C-alpha cells in the first residue's frame, strides 16, 4: 500500500483500521519522519532556524504517529470506540509528541539520567510548534511575535537532535518488537475519555477499591479502573460505603 493511499484512508470519517493498514501506516510515518528531520538539518545549515525547528517538531509528531499505529495493531480494531480513540490520538499534536518518546522510555534502563533531561524539551515542543511557523500578537497586545525572533539556533539544533533520537528509538522498537495483544479491559481503558480516567484516578474511593482488588490477587490496573467505573462511578456508588453495608 502506498503512502498516498494510506493518507487518503486516514482522512476518511468512516475509517476502518486493520493490522495490515496500521503496519503500513507506521512504516510510512517513520519514513516521512526521517525525511522531515533531514530537511530540518538542511534548513538549519542555511540559517533558517525557525523553520528547521518546525520541521523537527513535525518529524517528532510523525514518529509518535508511527508508534501509535504500531501499538494499535495489538488492539481490538473491530471495536468502534477503540478505533475512534486511536484515530483521534493520531490526529492530536500533543498525543503524538508524547507517544514519540514511548519507545525511548521503554528502551532506557535509567529513565532519570537518560530521558528526564529531554522531558522539559518535550513540554516546550507542545508550546513552541505554532510560534516557530506563524506570526502572532503577544498576550500584551502591543507587540508582534515573529518566528525568526522566537527560535534561536541552539533551540533548533536541540529539537533536531531530539527528533533524531526519538526516531532512532522508535525505528528499533518497530523493527525488533511485536505489537502487544491487549486485553478487553485494556482496550476499554484506552477508549475511555481522559476526563473519566482522571476523575477516577483522583478519587480516594477508587484506590481503596484497587487495594482490595490487589489483596484478592487481581493486580490488573486497567481491569480495576474499568470495573470501578462500571460498578461504582457510573451508577454513583462508593465502594467503601457499599462494602460497609455488606458487613
Residue 136's SS3 state is strand
Length of the chain: 247
pLDDT in tens, 108-120: 766 556 566 666 6
DSSP β-bridge partners for residue 145: 136
* Residues carrying CATH 1.20.120.330, the chain: 3-176
Q: Which residues, 6+ apart, have CB-to-CB distance to 156 below 8 Å?
A: 40, 44, 49, 50, 52, 53, 56
At residue 83 the predicted structure's pLDDT band, cuts being 50, 70 and 90, is: very high
pTM above 0.85, yes or no: no
Instruction: Report the distance separating Cα 128 and Cα 16, nearest Å.
Output: 33
Element housing 137 (H / E): strand 136-137
Instruction: Report the distance separating Cα 199 and Cα 59, nearest Å.
Output: 33
Could you give the angle at which helices 19-45 and 3-10 cross, rounded to 10 degrees? 110
| pLDDT for the residue numbered 82 | 96
Cell numbers of 94, please? 500533543
Considering the chain, what percentage of its residues have pLDDT values greater than 90? 66
DSSP 141: S
| pLDDT for the residue numbered 8 | 41
Is residue 78 predicted with pLDDT exceeding 90?
Answer: yes
Residue 26's SS3 state is helix
Instruction: Report the distance separating Cα 175 and Cα 27, nearest Å.
Output: 10
Q: Which residues, 6+ apart, have CB-to-CB distance to 82 below 8 Å?
A: 75, 76, 187, 190, 191
pLDDT in tens, 199-222: 999 999 999 999 999 999 998 999
DSSP β-bridge partners for residue 44: none
Domain 3-176 annotated CATH 2.60.120.200: no
Cell 492530536, located at residue: 92
Amino acid at each position: 500500500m502506498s503512502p498516498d493511499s494510506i493518507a487518503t484512508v486516514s482522512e476518511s470519517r468512516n475509517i476502518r483500521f486493520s493490522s495490515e493498514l496500521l503496519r503500513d501506516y507506521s512504516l510510512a510515518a517513520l519514513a516521512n519522519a526521517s525525511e522531515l528531520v533531514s530537511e530540518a538539518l538542511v534548513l538549519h545549515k542555511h540559517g533558517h532556524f525557525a523553520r528547521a525547528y518546525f520541521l523537527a517538531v513535525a518529524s517528532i509528531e510523525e514518529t509518535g504517529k508511527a508508534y501509535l499505529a504500531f501499538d494499535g495493531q495489538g488492539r481490538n480494531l473491530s471495536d468502534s470506540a477503540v478505533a475512534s480513540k486511536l484515530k483521534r490520538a493520531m490526529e492530536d499534536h500533543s498525543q503524538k509528541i508524547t507517544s514519540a518518546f514511548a519507545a525511548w522510555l521503554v528502551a532506557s534502563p535509567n529513565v532519570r539520567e537518560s530521558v528526564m533531561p529531554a522531558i522539559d524539551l518535550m513540554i516546550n515542543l507542545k508550546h513552541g510548534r505554532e510560534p516557530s511557523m506563524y506570526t502572532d500578537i503577544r498576550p500584551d497586545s502591543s507587540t508582534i511575535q515573529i518566528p525568526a525572533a522566537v527560535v534561536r539556533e541552539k533551540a533548533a539544533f536541540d529539537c533536531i537532535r531530539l527528533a533524531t533520537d526519538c526516531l532512532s528509538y522508535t525505528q528499533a522498537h518497530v523493527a525488533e518488537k511485536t505489537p502487544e495483544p491487549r486485553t478487553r479491559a485494556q482496550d476499554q481503558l484506552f477508549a475511555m475519555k481522559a476526563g473519566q480516567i482522571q476523575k477516577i484516578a483522583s478519587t480516594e474511593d477508587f484506590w481503596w477499591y484497587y487495594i482490595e482488588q490487589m489483596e484478592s490477587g487481581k493486580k490488573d490496573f486497567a481491569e480495576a479502573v474499568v470495573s470501578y467505573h462500571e460498578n461504582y462511578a457510573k451508577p454513583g456508588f462508593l465502594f467503601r460505603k457499599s462494602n460497609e453495608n455488606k458487613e
